[in-house]
Structure 1
Amino acid sequence: MATTSDESSASNPRQTTPATAARDATTSSDSPRVGTTTTTTTATATATAQPTIGEATAISTTSTPALVSTEATTESAATPAVASETAQTDVLPASHWAQVPQAEDEEDFDDVDSAYGDDNASSTASLSASILEYRTVHGRTYHSERGNAQSWNPNDAQHDESMDILHHVSTLMQDGKITMAHIDDSVQKVLDVGCGTGMYMGNVSNLRNALIYGGKAPIICSDFADQYPHTEVIGVDISPSQPQWIPPNLKFEIDDITLPWTYEPNSFDYIHMRWLIGAIPNWYTLFREVFQTLRPGGIFESKESSAVIQSDDGTVPYGSALDQWGRVFSEAGKKFGRTFRPVEEDIQVKAMQAAGFVDIKVYNMKTTLGSWAADPKQKEIGQYARLALEQDVEGFIMYMWTTVLGWTREEITVYAAHLRRELRSPNFHAYYPQRVVVGRKP
């Protein structure tokens, strides 16, 4: 899920779906560059009921992780209107939702642009039978049991569409930029960890071309990738969900990133990682693998979301379906051994510092949900974020809430109806935090 940006320091093919807007491939000059040394700056964002993109106050801090001040780190962690520990408690029982009367919809506020593409067919022609032996949970498919990986997201077409919409939300939140780090046009080798449908990597494979032309990155433009084939791009995920037709400089691999990596040390210029919430048992181990795999001067960018849905004006009260979303996921994460609160726990910053990264920058963001925002851009972001969630509520919660917490499918259905009603209402000024952290290997 994803939306306002504030800065702060501290394998195998599947179908890509085009996003609905052009991406601006250029990034701000103050972002870390691949292969160059930069100073570390921090900025804190003030949580407001009407979020805006790009408002930040610069705070200087040291570029050496071991010397990053506690004040800077703590401030960056506290920025996204963090819910207290009570967000992990006071979980209403699954049976509660059947007792809550379904209020009639006041009005259909669904003014989301419905022109979003439906191009999510998966290609499985070249995949081995063992990889395609998916698990089925209440009618939804999940990746096959492989290593230590446990993905709670379905890998079917319906959920792929939600994730592709969220990719579009992400680019809107970042003012059209697909990365917050500045990627120099001399970058030779790129790795995307948890690439999903490959939409992001399709853009990255064209990033070098867009940087050369100085324009906006197209969704997927194979002719650009053909003209500039010197950047090798690898996408890795646990499930085969990537496109059949890809640029020649882009390839996909299926692997479990929670196991020891097999890539050559010092072999990548840039590593991107996004939305691994609830899937990683040890973030410190994972970030050490990233550090070892990057070349000196290489850039690591991690983007994570929180499961905690909140408001700044009290319009997401305790007991609402929106409020319970984060509480139930937090409870499930504790039993699952994989947190759904990476933003609140400041995991990205702490794990980057522990691994040895320098020039760490943090970008705190708010992702509005629904059409309540007065600002046109925030409204658009909220509409798409709501669409992504609303069209597959069951897919997001089915595995964790049934398998881990014991909810029934019927209880899931009843809760989902309450959540959809709240998502459509302008009375809930809801959002959830996201955070991008960028660091450089010295």
Structure 2
Amino acid sequence: MTNFFQGRLYLAPIGDYPQRVLDLGTGTGIWAIEFAEQFPSAEVYGIDLSPTQPDWVPTNVKFQIDDLEGNWAWRENHFDFIHARNLEACFRDLPKFFRQLYKHTKPGGWFEIKEFEIQARSQSTELDENHIFNRWERLVRTHVERLGKPANNAANRRYATGLADAGFVEIVEQKWKIPIGFWPKDLELKKVGGCNLSLFDESLEGFMLFTLRELAGHTYDETQEIIDEMRTALGNPKLQPYYYM
């Protein structure tokens, strides 16, 4: 998503000298690595359940394998900046997550999350409720919530209200339309849309096999049919697909 923000890694007004920074759900660690290179005096920690980070990283980056749903081991008021993105449906207890964020953020520190809605939309066409974009949203939301994890948190403003309930102030909520595919005329948005289309194309099957087969009870062939229908719709420039972040 840094392409959409003209290469900016963050939007919060963290100042020029952040000292301790935490990246939640760090994945490959690319955000933590780039942030550490931009701020060589900062201590940057990346946390994830999976050990997918590279071995060779800047000396001011440390990666840890941990479950964010557990109790955090860091000291209270420890981090100047906590960053997260794409944590949709990761938490059974969102209020606990928000309380831990508040507990471990320094007074005057910042938390920033970028989250997308699970509902794909069309800019050019009014879609009926049986369109794959709408069926897809219902499938994901229904079966993720069966696992006890609330879904569509961004669309339902659970982050903004939950952070306020935990004690955060000066909460800023912004919403952007993110294209999927090469349909935008603007060259930068076309690039963002192309990256998004590649991401969806690569991740749809892995994400939905468990949801559709194990939770929804679909056969493998039924699952592939739904995935193929979604992939085709996302790649259809006439629909001008997008989602909100």
Q: What TM-score, normalized to structure 2?
A: 0.94
- Counterparts of 1:387 and 1:315, CA distance in 2: 25
Which residue pairs with 1:189 in the alignment?
20
1:394-433 aligned within 5 A = 394-433=205-244
Q: Output the CA distance in 2 between the equivalents of 1:375 and 1:316.
A: 25
Give 1:425 shift.
Answer: 1.7
CA–CA separation in structure 2 for the residues paired with 1:323 and 1:342: 17
Deviates more, 1:409-418 or 1:385-394: 409-418
SS of the aligned residue for 1:359 comes to coil
1:365, 1:412 → 2: CA distance? 31
CA contact (8 A) 2:180 2:241 kept: yes
Amino acid at match of 1:347: R
SS in 1 for 2:221: helix
Q: Identity of aligned pairs, percent?
A: 29
Structure-2 separation of matches of 1:171 and 1:246: 20
Indicate conservation of the 8 Å contact 1:173/1:381, yes or no. Answer: yes
Q: Are 1:386 and 1:423, in contact at CA under 8 Å, matched by a contact in 2?
A: yes
1:124-273 residue pairs with structure 2 within 5 A?
170-208=1-39, 228=40, 230-273=41-84
Q: Which has the higher helix share?
A: 2
Residue aligned with 1:173, SS? coil
Amino acid at match of 1:392: S
1:231 is matched by which residue type in structure 2?
A
Shift, 1:254, TM fit: 0.8
Which of the residues 106, 114, 118 maps onto 1:295? 106
Correspondent of 2:183 among 372, 378, 389:
372
Distance 1:425 1:311, change over 3 A: closer
Shift of residue 310, structure 1, vs aligned partner: 1.4
Q: Give the superposition deviation at 1:178.
A: 0.9
| 3-state SS of 2:110 partner | strand
For the 8 Å contact 1:191–1:234, the answer to whether it is kept is: yes
Alignment partner of 1:340: what SS? coil
1:382 matched to which residue of 2? 193
Q: Distance in 1 between matches of 2:38 and 2:93?
A: 31
CA separation in 2, counterparts of 1:179 and 1:427? 33
Letter in 2 for 1:351: G
Larger CA Rg, structure 1 vs 2: 1
Q: Cα RMSD between the aligned structures? A: 1.5
In the TM superposition, residue 389 of structure 1 has moved relative to its aligned partner by: 0.4
CA offset digits 1:168-200 (Å, max 9, x no partner): xx1122122110113322211111111111011
User: CA–CA distance in 2 between the matches of 1:257 and 1:338?
Assistant: 14
Map of 1:306 onto structure 2: 117
Counterparts of 2:221 and 2:215 in 1: how far apart (Å)?
16
Amino acid at match of 1:207: Q
Q: CA deviation at 1:429?
A: 1.8
Q: Distance in 1 between matches of 2:235 and 2:169?
A: 43
SS in 2 for 1:200: helix
Find the aligned partners of 2:191 and 2:129 in 1 and give their Cα distance.
Answer: 27
**Residues 306 and 340, structure 1, Cα contact 8 Å, conserved in 2:** no
Q: Taking CA–CA contacts closer than 8 Å with sequence separation of 6 or more, which of the two structures ends up with the larger relative contact order?
A: 1
**Structure 2 runs not aligned, ≥5 long:** none
1:330 offset after TM fit, Å? 1.2
What is the Cα deviation at residue 377 of structure 1? 2.1
Q: Is the 8 A contact 1:315 1:430 kept in 2?
A: no
Q: Which amino acid aligns with 2:17?
A: S
In 1, distance between residues paired with 2:106 and 2:208?
38
- The 8 Å contact of residues 123 and 239 in structure 2, kept in 1 or not, is answered as no
Are the counterparts in 1 of residues 208 and 227 from structure 2 also a CA contact under 8 Å? no
Q: Deviations over 1:402-439 (max 9, x none)?
A: 222112222221222222222222221211111xxxxx
Letter matched to residue 149 of structure 2: R
Matched, 1:326 2:157: no
> Which amino acid is the alignment partner of residue 37 of structure 2?
N
| Inter-partner Cα distance in structure 2 for 1:192 and 1:246 | 15
- Partner residue, 1:275: 86
Q: Distance in 1 between matches of 2:242 and 2:149?
A: 22
Code of the aligned partner of 2:130: G
The alpha carbon displacement at 1:301 in A equals: 0.7
